[in-house]
Amino acid sequence: MKRLKRRTFLKGLGAGISGILASRTMPYFFVRNIAQAAEGDTIKVGILHSLSGTIAIIETSLHNAELLAIEEINAKGGVLGKKLEPVIEDPQSMVQVFAEKAKKLLLADKVVAVLGCYTSASRQAVLPIFEQYNGVLLYPTLYEAQECSKNCFYTGAVPSQQLDNFIPWIINTLGRKKFYLIGANYIYPKETNREVKALLRKHGGQLVAEEYAPLGATEFSTSINKIASSGCDVVFSDLVGDQIVAFYKQYREYGITAKDIPICSPITTEQEIAAMGSENAVGHYTSFDYFQSVDAPENKSFVERYKARYGRNAVTNAVMQSAYFATYMLAHAIEKVKSTDPDALIFEGLPGQEVQAPEGKVKIDEKNHHTWLWGRIGRANEQGQFDIVWKSENWIQPQPWVPYLYPGKACDFTDPRVLKRLKRPWSEEKNRSGTINL
Amino acid sequence: MASASGSVLAKTIANRSKRTIYRTPLIPRPVLVGGLFVIALIGAYPYYGTNAYVLSLLGKFLCYAIFALSIDLIWGFTGILSLGQAVYFGLGAYFIALSLKLNYALTHPTRYGGKIPDFMEWNGLTSVPHFMQPLMNLKTAVVCALIVPTLLALLFGVITFKRHIYGVYCAVITLAESLILQEFIIEYQAYTGGFNGITDYSNYVSPRFLWFILAVAIIFFLGARLLTHSKAGTVLKSIRDNDLRAEFLGYNVANYRIFVFCVSSFMAAAAGAMYAAWVGLVSFLDTGPVFSIEAVIWTAVGGRGTIVGPFVGTFLVKGAEFFLSGVLAEWWQILVGGLFIFVVLAMPDGIVGAVARWGARRRLALDNIARKDELKKYYFQLRLRSERSAQPEKEAP
């Protein structure tokens, strides 16, 4: 009998494994391609959130919320009698990969729209692609505003929706006037703080100092030293990601409590508090359109469904809620125009779309593609949730350009002149970068 | 008589040595045939392909492959492991991207209405700084994109290789170089776009530019082959295998290292420049160590120390990424990692190395058969001769 040699065995094993992999992945891929070419019985929706890399924690929650919404829509019978089919891509927290995958979703998978992106960097990386190939992007994150794109619908808050009431509230209700601004060194904190400073001038606040930490830096002892000796009575933080966790922890370890100098932030969510431990955040304030503790039947059932799907310990947050209702808005828009044509969605389907979201009724603005949202201020409690201490009486209009900083600037996609320019085939806007022409 | 049999032996030995010292042709036939096929396949894609996404991937993969080739030149052939090769790629890319962005901003007012790139505007600049004015001209930018990284490589090479810094220390220094550049880009965001990178400018996604990239790739491929196939290439390989011995033989190891490092950086810069023009997006990640290490992996999978290897490795790994990341979103990274480990364990010389070794073994086996025939012939002749010489001596008058 022939002896099985180690090398022969290894070779066979390797060949076997690669064979299995090839047989598992290849036919699936081809089947998928054939299915989309034949315009099957599903409507493809791209989902573009990092499942690996530095921002995976928060982006995975958006990804989950969108999948939950799609499952719910499908359970109710889908859209136009077809099921929504999520096409999932992992951009690995890298802007290059975001751009590449966005291209793939639009050109290879031919999705009707993409729900995706979290950081401003990733949005800026994919926007030219959506404009070039006329795709639809639903962007769920709060961001620095001063942008509007025909192809993008922003369901997150703009700074004015979070700050216009927050800063006066800090000054008048909390009675704190001396602000110390700390943020990460990139576009979102810089633009947000520009607005904070304008609001401080308007409402009689005082700027003590302004500091930008390098992105990704998690050592804040010198900054906290400066805060303690600066004589400020409130810290306004737009640090992001892991920095939030590090900053709040070190702040408490240093011995400053929320009674001495509270931290106010437009970006710290339940997600970061869960990561840092609720004792580090107790008493600090956040301004958002949504908190998990919002007392509304829609929200209770949303939180319940989310926990049933992703585990008892899962928490919901504002950005994820935006991603969730954005998915519904997309489904309703497709129902409304009875088509998956991007131009129909961009000009008729999505603008003015209203939906009863967990935070309340929300609407996409017809003029600037941003969303009417509610204003809320929360104080973090021991359970890692927010006690809502203030709520706006009505929904707040989105203003990508706030009048007190940029008077006379706005964008209006209902203006006939703008429409005429945008709808022209192969117009400059559609064809901004080089396209394939043989 | 003795001399006669001796001359046969000498002839046989000469024949043998002719066969055993086998000099590979500049381009072996399988590579030539396969290469022409692949070139035709890529070059003709705009005619038979319909998927614009695949077209965009082809151009990108070619740029990546040139970058991997540049790493192969220094790592696979000379034994310098650089984890900062992306510095040169990134510099080339940034020059072109900046130039295109500056020009784009002239005709497309930013969201603030100005005629300078948006990242300059939100950082408080009101006009393009003077030292960036020359970049408005694309030709100047191309020259800068190719020359500045090469000069930087020269400087780096003189600093390190002349001081006999190599091996692990060199890898660490190149890594540091890469991190410094990244920090610089993020910190000086008014000029570089910082964390967001440079995006939203007119890029060149067209079949003609794909052909241009393809042509450059072919030129670099042939150039690298010529270099490594020459005497200088033999010296480079000897430096890789034993640098002390090469030095004792009288070669100026440092100069050879500097030379190959500059050539490689030039290639990386060219790849980066074309990448920026093709993809339309450059960020600090393109200059980072992770990108360099990725390219090292492509080279290792394809086959270090071979010219075809980087191309095969890049297309295979990036292609696998393209197939797997959509189908198996959560698993593809593990699969690509598994592929890498499998290749390194089962084929230490990479895929091309393994194939080449198989070819060489086959050739050797054939050679052995030929050699045996040769010896048989020799012994037969010897016997014939001895038999012949045994008989006439008696018959001689």
Per the structure, the count of domains in chain A is 2
- Residue B89 domain boundaries: 52-289
Task: For B43-89, write each residue's pLDDT tens digit.
Answer: 999 888 877 888 889 999 999 999 999 999 999 999 999 999 999 99
d(CA B266, CA B85): 11
Burial (Cβ within 10 Å: 0-12, 13-18, ≥19) of residue B163: exposed
Sign of the alpha-carbon torsion through A325, A330, A334, A337: positive
Query: Would A4 be classed as within a structural domain?
Result: no
Instruction: Show the 3-state SS of chain B.
Output: CHHHHHHHHHHHHHHHHHHHCCCCCCCCHHHHHHHHHHHHHHHCHHHHCCCHHHHHHHHHHHHHHHHHHHHHHHHHCCCCCCCCCHHHHHHHHHHHHHHHHHHHHHHCCCCCCCCCCHHHHCCCCCCCCHHHHHHHCHHHHHHHHHHHHHHHHHHHHHHHHCCCCCCHHHHHHHHHHHHHHHHHHHHCHHHHCHHHCEECCCCCCCHHHHHHHHHHHHHHHHHHHHHHHCHHHHHHHHHHHCHHHHHHCCCCHHHHHHHHHHHHHHHHHHHHHHHHHHHCEECHHHHCHHHHHHHHHHHHHHCCCCCHHHHHHHHHHHHHHHHHHHHCCCCHHHHHHHHHHHHHHHCCCHHHHHHHHHHHHHHHHHHHHHHHHHHHHHHHHHHHHHHHHHHHHHHCC
Give the tokens for residue B73.
């030149």
Task: Name the pLDDT band for A133 (thresholds 50, 70, 90).
Answer: confident
Give the tokens for residue A82.
């077809």
Q: What are phi and psi of B262, to 5 degrees?
A: -65, -45
Task: For A364-411, write each residue's pLDDT tens digit.
Answer: 999 889 999 999 999 999 999 999 999 999 999 999 888 888 887 778
CB-side neighbour CA atoms (13 Å) of A151 = 25
- Chain A residues whose CB is inside 8 A of the B196 CB are 95, 120-121, 124-125, 186-187
d(CA A238, CA A192): 8
Under DSSP, the state recorded for A367 is T
Distances in Å between the Cα of B373 and the Cα atoms of B22, B360, B385 are 18, 20, 18
d(CA B120, CA B127): 8
Is the same domain home to A283 and A166?
yes
Judge: A29–B327 Cβ closer than 8 Å, yes or no.
yes
Task: For B277-336, write each residue's pLDDT tens digit.
Answer: 999 899 998 999 989 999 999 999 999 899 999 999 999 988 888 777 666 666 777 887
Q: Say if CB A374 and CB A322 are below 8 A apart.
A: no
Q: A114 forms bridges with which residues in the sheet? A: A46, A137
- Chain A residues whose CB is inside 8 A of the B60 CB are 100
The pLDDT value recorded for residue A121 is 87
Query: Would B383 be classed as within a structural domain?
Result: no
Is the same domain home to A246 and A324?
no
Q: What is the mean pLDDT of residues A306-323?
A: 92
Query: Would B222 be classed as within a structural domain?
Result: yes
Res A433 pLDDT > 60: no
Query: Would A410 be classed as within a structural domain?
Result: yes
Please state whether A370 falls in left (phi above 0), alpha (psi between -120 and 50) or beta: beta
**Chain A to chain B Cβ contacts (< 8 Å):** 133
Q: Which helix (H) or strand (E) holds A222?
A: helix A221-230
Q: Say if CB A267 and CB A238 are below 8 A apart.
A: yes
d(CA B131, CA B153): 22
Residues 307-366 of B with CB under 8 A from A: 322-330, 332-333, 335, 342, 346
Strand spans (E) along A77-220 = 83-89, 113-116, 137-139, 152-154, 178-184, 206-213
Query: Would B78 be classed as within a structural domain?
Result: yes
Q: CB within 8 A of A4, min separation 6: which ones?
A: none
Rounded mean pLDDT of chain B? 86
> What Rg do the C-alpha atoms of chain B give, in angstroms?
27
Task: Name the pLDDT band for B387 (thresholds 50, 70, 90).
Answer: confident
CATH code assigned at A80:
3.40.50.2300
- Chain A residues whose CB is inside 8 A of the B203 CB are 433-434
Is the same domain home to A102 and A248?
no
Q: What is the mean pLDDT of residues A93-97?
A: 88
Nearest chain B residue to A89, by CA: B326
The pLDDT value recorded for residue B250 is 92
Judge: B279–A29 Cβ closer than 8 Å, yes or no.
no
Is the same domain home to A387 and A259?
yes
The pLDDT value recorded for residue A323 is 96
Is the same domain home to A268 and A173?
yes
The pLDDT value recorded for residue A427 is 41
Is the same domain home to A238 and A266?
yes
Query: Would A437 be classed as within a structural domain?
Result: no
User: CA of A99, closest CA in chain B: separation in Å?
Assistant: 8
Res B363 pLDDT > 70: yes
Per the structure, the count of domains in chain B is 1
Judge: A433–B207 Cβ closer than 8 Å, yes or no.
no
Is the same domain home to A80 and A187?
no
Q: What is the mean pLDDT of residues B147-153?
A: 96
d(CA B162, CA B155): 10
Provide the percentage of residues in chain A whose pLDDT is more than 90.
Answer: 58
Task: For B189-205, write each residue's pLDDT tens digit.
Answer: 889 988 888 988 888 88
User: CA of B324, closest CA in chain A: separation in Å?
Assistant: 7
Res A46 pLDDT > 60: yes
Sign of the alpha-carbon torsion through A130, A134, A137, A142: positive
Rounded mean pLDDT of chain A? 85
Res B112 pLDDT > 70: no
Judge: B283–A96 Cβ closer than 8 Å, yes or no.
yes
Is the same domain home to A316 and A412?
yes
The pLDDT value recorded for residue A15 is 52
Is the same domain home to A131 and A169?
no
Is the same domain home to A186 and A286?
yes
Q: Say if CB A261 and CB A231 are below 8 A apart.
A: no
Residue B103 contacts A where some CB pair is shorter than 8 Å: no
The pLDDT value recorded for residue B7 is 64
Q: Say if CB B332 and CB B321 are below 8 A apart.
A: yes
Task: For A333-375, write each residue's pLDDT tens digit.
Answer: 999 999 888 889 998 999 999 999 999 999 999 988 999 999 9
> What Rg do the C-alpha atoms of chain A give, in angstroms?
24
Judge: B196–A120 Cβ closer than 8 Å, yes or no.
yes
Q: Looking at per-residue confidence, does A27 or A105 come out higher?
A: A105
Query: Would B26 be classed as within a structural domain?
Result: no
Residues 4-43 of B with CB under 8 A from A: none
Q: What is the mean pLDDT of residues A123-134?
A: 88
Is the same domain home to A98 and A221?
no
Provide the percentage of residues in chain A whose pLDDT is more than 70.
Answer: 87
Terminal CA-to-CA distance of chain B, rounded, Å?
18
Q: What are phi and psi of A436, to 5 degrees?
A: -80, 120
One-letter amino acid identity for A12?
Answer: G
Residues 39-98 of B with CB under 8 A from A: 46-47, 51-57, 60
Closest CA to A47 of B53, B51, B329: B329
A36-45, A56-65, B161-170, B208-217: which range is least confident on average? A36-45
- Residue A236 domain boundaries: 161-290+379-391
A2-6, A353-357, A382-386, B254-258: which range is least confident on average? A2-6
d(CA A136, CA A115): 9
Nearest chain B residue to A52, by CA: B330
Closest CA to B181 of B80, B270, B287: B287
Task: Name the pLDDT band for B211 (thresholds 50, 70, 90).
Answer: very high
Task: Name the pLDDT band for B388 (thresholds 50, 70, 90).
Answer: confident
User: CA of A214, closest CA in chain B: separation in Å?
Assistant: 8
Residue B280 contacts A where some CB pair is shorter than 8 Å: yes
Task: For A9-42, write each residue's pLDDT tens digit.
Answer: 555 555 555 544 444 444 333 333 333 433 568 9
Is the same domain home to A64 and A196?
no
Q: Looking at per-residue confidence, does A265 or B319 come out higher?
A: A265
Query: Would B360 be classed as within a structural domain?
Result: no
